[in-house]
Chains A and B, each alone.
Chain A
Amino acid sequence: MALLLWVWLGCTVFVLGCAWRAYRYASAPEHLRWDLYPVAHEPNAYGGSYLEEKDWWTKPRHSSLVREAVFMAEEILLLRGVWTHNRRLWWGSFPFHWGLYLMVAVTFGLAAAALGLGGQPLLLALAVVGGLGGALLAVGSVVLLYLRARDPKLRPYTAPVDLMNLVLLALLGILSALVANGGMEPVAAAVADLAQARPVSASTLLATQMTVASLFLLYLPATRMVHFFSKYFTYHAVRWDDRPREAGSALDRRLRAALDFGVDWSAEHVRTGKTWAEVATTLPEEKSAGE
């Protein structure tokens, strides 16, 4: 029963925590444009934008979702940026991330198996993928742990909790590989128990693996590991957000509304207690309309 509650708690906090973080980002006010080139959906491979065109505001735009997807796929699947700029770290980061990807894939696979899909072939495939995922996660975590503890550029920026996190993930990787090595039938059965809110029957090994995995899920939303979804915002809402403002659009309405926000900044040249519109249209020594 305790295991059932613990896993449920982990999953619930994970979902709600991530939803809350995503909501905070998504609901932040519309900001001033801060795009950074190259912008992946632009057609020019050298990083050019539509601002290179004469009378750009009259021209059709050639934005491509495919180019964005290719960029993102390279970034997510190959860790291209780290490979290009930080090769030493890549040798730890690549197995670490792939370990996590495979374990997420296995989790979905187990959900399918719990629904009675896939049969034995699926369970066999999950055992292979789970074993590989666990091993990669363990190897990646140990390499990262070593680098974080030793590398002079990483060490000073690493807190004790970061090291504890990597130790936990190394342990999770090892436990997951061992569990997979024993076959996935008992895991699928445990997942079915969890899904139906029944007390979970699991071996000590499996119960330990599930306990550690849930602990990870429990604190993940409070960490910077949420970059698995926040990266969507850093790219789409900032770096690649090159939408021109069109009169009457939702963007236009939100930006107009922002001009009514209050300004509390205290420096003398700012006129504290006014709205942004008032502050931006008058100098400290002037009076705004109606004053």
Chain B
Amino acid sequence: MEQQRPTGVEQEGLTTTETPAAPKVKAHQTPDDVIHLMEKDQTQDVDTLVPLPFPYEDWKDTPIPTLSDEQRSRFEVGPDGVSALQIPKPATEEEKEERVAQFLAGLAKLLDREDNWTFLQPLMLSLENCVKCQTCNDSCGIYTDSGRAEMYRPTFRGEVLRRIIDRYIKPGGGILPGLRGHDIKVDWNMIVNLAELSYRCTLCRRCAQACPIGVDNGLISREIRKLFSQELGIAMPELHTLGTVKQLKTGSSTGLNPAGVADVIEFAEEDIQEKAGLEVKIPFNKEGAEYLVMHNAGEFLSWPENLQAFVIILEKAGVSWTMASEPVGYDSVNYGLFYDDVQYSRIVLKHYGIAKSLGVKKILEGECGHAHKAAMPVADRLVPRDMFVPTESSLVLLEDIVMNDRIKLDPSRNDFPVTLHDPCNITRSMGIIQPQRNILKKICPQFREMTPHGVDNYCCGGGSGFAVGNSVNFPDWRTRVAGRMKFRQILNAFSDSIGPETNKYVCAPCSNCKGQLRDIIRYYEGWDRCRILYGGLVELIVNAMVDVPEGFLEWEFH
């Protein structure tokens, strides 16, 4: 097939990236065909993936590795041969039946007003009102870029869940199930596939935006995850055991305890002195400070320059701020948002409890998208008012600092092509769109938008915890399938200067998005072939600060 170069097109005010037809599209003809997908092995074929634009005409994807026999003997895989969850194989048929019964019991709880008060109304609305018009389909980058694989269609998971509910949970489910379209038999294989497929959706909600009825297939994926976690104890290990459980136990999902944080901070202070000539003592537990600044602790280890840049800006702008040393208080991560309301609530209440005890006036969310959403709109309905502390986005404070010249800036230091990746949680789920753009327009002379952008952005493919999913063959799927649309967008945004002679910067004000960008740029060799680097927003601001020696931004891929 001839390679096509995707172009940005304006469509009724909504910009989209055209998706060239993939070489092979599997067509399914009947409702039974679709359900049978849950019974077959549909290993994702990399030849069906959407081709990449210039200069990647010669690009050949390496296949997604299949699991070894040893791995297959230990745990289950999804219908695409990928394992995000490493669900242990039951030893006996009885155990399988028990798990299926547990699943059905959990499904009833998902529809119960007390057990699921947190999301019952939106879930019910989404389950009961989808007219199956498929208007939402092409909004999903995972679906389109996979070559429109049926199992990734935004409506697929919801369709399966709906049929199970109609057949097994609703009264009279056994009456004419074939005629009514819910002739389905639930078995262990089906629930494994459903659990895995709930982790092939990044909960980005782009499909929900396109749905004329207001159905949210992202929420349905989330609720399926929740049912598996809260009832069967099945969740992505990086989100649960290595995520929220570890965070509640040690203080951070990175495993950093307060002593570890102290080391990180000492190192940051030294680095700031070296790079910016600024002698600073990073404030901790300063009672009554204006802001309690909360970072994703992943930054401390993977991108310490982000923490340092924040410190430099806040200090130079004369902001009254502090960080917290109490466990959980120094890590804004809350992976519960993605899969489990109980874990989510525990972490949110810890965060607010610590802020309240410090007597700060506000909480400031650093550059982490899901932490924004977890702590701001969603938490607003959970945290009792006597524990509440107003919370603000760092993008808003940074806009105030930059636009009101509270620090001196020289934009010519950022005279290289820059584009912005919008984190879904900050834009589509919170409507914070303009502050980051105002900053970039002021400090980056060669700033250009991706197509589409803002509320219409595509997910980076690392959303909903995918960016930290690093086990078995999940990261191989994540880069090739989930991240493909974003990489295409990046190439298109830099098409005027794509060669390796020009350094280019993808600004992503979100830790998880940065993790995913790192992995896709590495997989597609974007640094070697095109000199595409990624990083946060504060790094660009500090790079332009007149008070800081030139070269804060290091053009090294890591």
* B468 part of interface (Cβ distance < 8 Å): no
Q: A81-B135, A238-B125 are in contact. Are A265 and B230 (CB under 8 A)?
A: yes
- The residues of B that contact A267 with a CB separation of less than 8 Å are 229-233
Expressed in whole angstroms, the Cα–Cα distance for A89 and B136 within the complex equals 12
A108 contacts chain B at the CB level, 8 A cutoff = no
Q: In the complex, are the beta carbons of A157 and B342 less than 8 A apart? A: no
B546 adjacent to chain A (CB < 8 Å): no
Indicate if the CB atoms of A226 and B400 lie closer than 8 Å.
no
B92 on the A face (CB < 8 A): no
Residue A142 interfacial (CB < 8 Å): no
Q: Is B500 an interface residue (CB 8 A)?
A: no
Within A213-228, the residues touching B (CB, 8 Å) are 224-227
CA distance A154 to B181 in the complex (A): 13
User: A residues within 8 A CB of B137?
Assistant: 153
Q: Is the CB of A28 within 8 A of B121?
A: yes
Least Cβ–Cβ distance between A225 and chain B, in angstroms: 8
Q: Spot the interface stretch: A110-118, A177-185, A274-282.
A: A274-282
Give me 17 A-to-B residue pairs in the complex whose CB atoms sit less than 8 angstroms apart, sorted by A's number. A28-B113, A31-B117, A33-B378, A37-B455, A52-B396, A52-B431, A54-B400, A82-B135, A89-B135, A153-B134, A237-B121, A239-B214, A258-B118, A262-B115, A263-B114, A264-B109, A265-B231
Contact A269 B245 (CB under 8 A): yes
**B133/A84 in contact, CB under 8 A:** no
Determine which residue in A39, A51, A56, A268 has the highest number of CB atoms from chain B within 10 A of its CB, and name it. A51
Q: In the complex the two chains form, what is the Cα distance from A266 to B131 in whole Å?
A: 33
Question: Chain A, 82-106, contact with B by CB distance < 8 Å: what is the 0/1 string?
Answer: 1111100100010000000000000
Given known contacts A86-B135, A265-B230, A269-B343, A36 and B208 CB-to-CB distance under 8 angstroms: yes
CA distance A262 to B390 in the complex (A): 29
The total of chain A residues at the interface (CB under 8 A) is: 89
Whether B385 and A247, one on each chain, are in contact in the complex, defined by CB atoms closer than 8 angstroms, is yes
Cβ distance B11 to chain A, nearest Cβ, rounded Å? 6
Q: Which residues of A contact B119 (CB under 8 A)?
A: 31-32, 34
If the complex has contacts A161-B181, A230-B129, are A37 and B427 also in contact, measured as CB distance less than 8 A?
Answer: yes
A57 CA to B182 CA in the complex, in Å? Answer: 47
B80 → chain A closest CB, angstroms: 18
Complex Cα–Cα for A42 and B433 (A):
13
Kindly list chain A residues whose C-beta atoms are within 8 Å of the C-beta of B179: 159-161
Contact with A along B384-398 (1 / 0, CB 8 A): 110010101100110
> What residues on B are CB-neighbors of A209 within 8 Å?
none
- For B396, what are the chain A residues with a Cβ–Cβ distance below 8 Å? 51-54, 56
Assuming the contacts A31-B381, A86-B133, A244-B380, asked whether A48 and B120 have C-beta atoms less than 8 A apart, the reply is: no
B431 touches A48 (CB 8 A): yes
- Whether B30 and A156, one on each chain, are in contact in the complex, defined by CB atoms closer than 8 angstroms, is yes
A186 contact set on B, CB distance < 8 A: none
B105 in the interface, Cβ–Cβ < 8 Å? yes
CB-defined contacts of A68 to chain B, threshold 8 Å: none
- Give residues of chain A (190-244) contacting chain B, Cβ–Cβ below 8 Å: 224-227, 230-231, 233-235, 237-239, 242, 244
B124 within 8 A of A: yes
| Other contacts beyond A230-B213, A265-B115: 20, CB < 8 A | A31-B118, A37-B427, A37-B429, A38-B455, A44-B433, A49-B430, A51-B393, A51-B431, A82-B133, A84-B11, A155-B28, A227-B129, A234-B126, A234-B129, A258-B118, A262-B114, A265-B342, A276-B345, A279-B342, A283-B346
CA distance A235 to B27 in the complex (A): 33
Residues of chain A with a CB closer than 8 A to B150's CB = 156
Q: How far is the CA of A193 from the CA of B12 in the complex (A)?
A: 49
Bound complex: CA of A83 vs CA of B13, how far in Å?
13
Q: Is the CB of A238 within 8 A of B214?
A: yes
- The answer to whether A39 touches B431 (Cβ under 8 A) is yes
Cβ of B215 under 8 Å from chain A = yes
Which residues of chain A have C-beta atoms less than 8 A from B484's C-beta?
none
A8-44 contact mask (Cβ, 8 Å, vs B): 1 or 0: 0000000000000100110011111111111100101
Residue numbers in B under 8 Å from A61 (CB-CB): none
Q: Which residues of chain A are near B14, meaning CB under 8 Å?
A: 84
Known: A31-B122, A238-B121. A56 touches B392 (CB 8 A): yes
Please state if A152 and B27 are interface contacts (CB–CB under 8 Å). Answer: yes
A119 within 8 A of B: no
B237 at the interface (CB under 8 A from A): no
Q: Do residues B178 and A81 form an inter-chain contact, with CB atoms below 8 A?
A: no
A156 with B34, Cβ < 8 A, contacts A247-B385, A269-B233 known: yes
Known: A31-B117, A32-B118, A245-B381. A52 touches B109 (CB 8 A): no
Given A31-B122, A54-B392, check contact A44 B434 (CB 8 Å): yes
User: Chain A: which residue is nearest B31 at the CB level?
Assistant: A156
Chain B positions within 8 Å of A276 at CB level: 117, 345
Residue pair B31, A231 in contact (C-beta under 8 Å)? no
Partner of A49, one of B210, B240, B349, B432: B432
Q: Which of A52-66 contact B (CB under 8 A)?
A: 52-57
